[in-house]
Amino acid sequence: MPAPATAHDKADQIAVHPFENGFGCELAGLDLSQPLTQARFETWHDAFERYSVVVIRGQHFSVAQHVAFSEWFGKLEQYEDPKDQAEGFNTIIRVSNIDKYTNAIKSLDDIGHKSFTLGTSDWHTDSSFRRIPSKASLLFAREVTPEGGDTAFASTSMAWEALPEDMQQRIEHLTVVHDFEETRRRFGLPPRPPEIRAKLPPVTHPLVTNLPDGRRALLIGMHAVRVEDMEPDASRAILDELKAFATQQQFVYRHKWRVGDLVMWDNRCTMHRAMPYALERDRRLLHRTTVAGEAAA
């Protein structure tokens, strides 16, 4: 007969509730205001690897704690602009329409705010414009809007598996240029200063990527500019076709935010987008850490 569970064992028991289509899950029983144990982390990590999107509701933790538990998953990307940082931490970015210094709602005349808003409102993959794309993002809701402002997630691994075999064969060896400047170009906004652009030059990634567990996924979205060695019109057509296919309802989870929600997603096999809200009227503040990707062995 097994020994009865101790108080410590019970504290490490987390319930995993998969969503109906197997894309995404909710974890219950995890309090992130308390230090992680190895057992809790392993349950969380396994859920992340299996379901790609993990929702943890009803959380109350500090910025420092957000950084600390995010670092269990790997090295965090840094954000150099102080106005984007939360409480001086350069590993947390403010995803918000609220000015950090005045606490007032930002004007859309602010080019940086406008570029970020337009870019995140379309399907994209965080940091696909980096030489090594990111592994994961962890977004925490501090202020939410009364209407709108949901975040939609699309599984690009489920989409790959559902593609017709002839399309898989057609695209599996293609490479795509990703560029951080694409949002500004697409919407006719002024380019970033040369010194900023020099830090994030265009990069090339395989259109179809390999995941550690053997699955494959599409790496597409807003930052994907063009397919290499393909005519511009044909390139745009295939990227748009794949985005439309990958964002069909059967591949999508839409999250309606509540204060205290933490959502983590796998940038290696998902896209996401911010849904519209009254951004010139309603306040919205979320904090995001981004787990850096790892170079191929």
- Residue range 34-75, pLDDT digits in tens: 999 999 999 999 999 999 999 999 999 999 999 999 999 999
Cα 150 from Cα 125, distance rounded (Å):
16
Predicted structure pTM score = 0.92
Cα 185 from Cα 283, distance rounded (Å):
28
Confidence of residue 196 (pLDDT cuts 50, 70, 90): confident
List the one residue out of 78, 149, 127 whose CA is nearest residue 271. Answer: 127
Q: Do residues 29 and 59 touch, judged by C-beta distance below 8 A? A: no
Q: Following DSSP, what letter does each residue of 13-60 receive, concatenated?
A: --EEEE-TTSS-EEEES--TTSPPPHHHHHHHHHHHHHHSEEEE-S--
List the one residue out of 247, 243, 274, 225 whose CA is nearest residue 113. Answer: 274
Q: CA triplet 253, 140, 223: central angle to 5 degrees?
A: 60
Cα 222 from Cα 186, distance rounded (Å):
9
Give the whole-number percent of the chain exceeding pLDDT 90.
Answer: 80
Confidence of residue 116 (pLDDT cuts 50, 70, 90): confident
CB contact set of 175 (below 8 Å; sequence gap of 6+): 204, 205, 206, 207, 227, 228
Domains of the chain: 12-291 (3.60.130.10)
DSSP bridge pairs for 28: 15
Which of 97-111, 157-171, 193-207 has maximum average pLDDT? 157-171
**First-residue to last-residue Cα distance in the chain:** 45
Q: Following DSSP, what letter does each residue of 86-144 receive, concatenated?
A: ETTEEEEEEEESB-TTT-SBPPTT-HHHHHHHHHHTS-B-TTTTSSS--SEEEEEEEE-
Q: Do residues 183 and 191 touch, judged by C-beta distance below 8 A? A: no
Mean pLDDT, rounded, for 118-144: 94
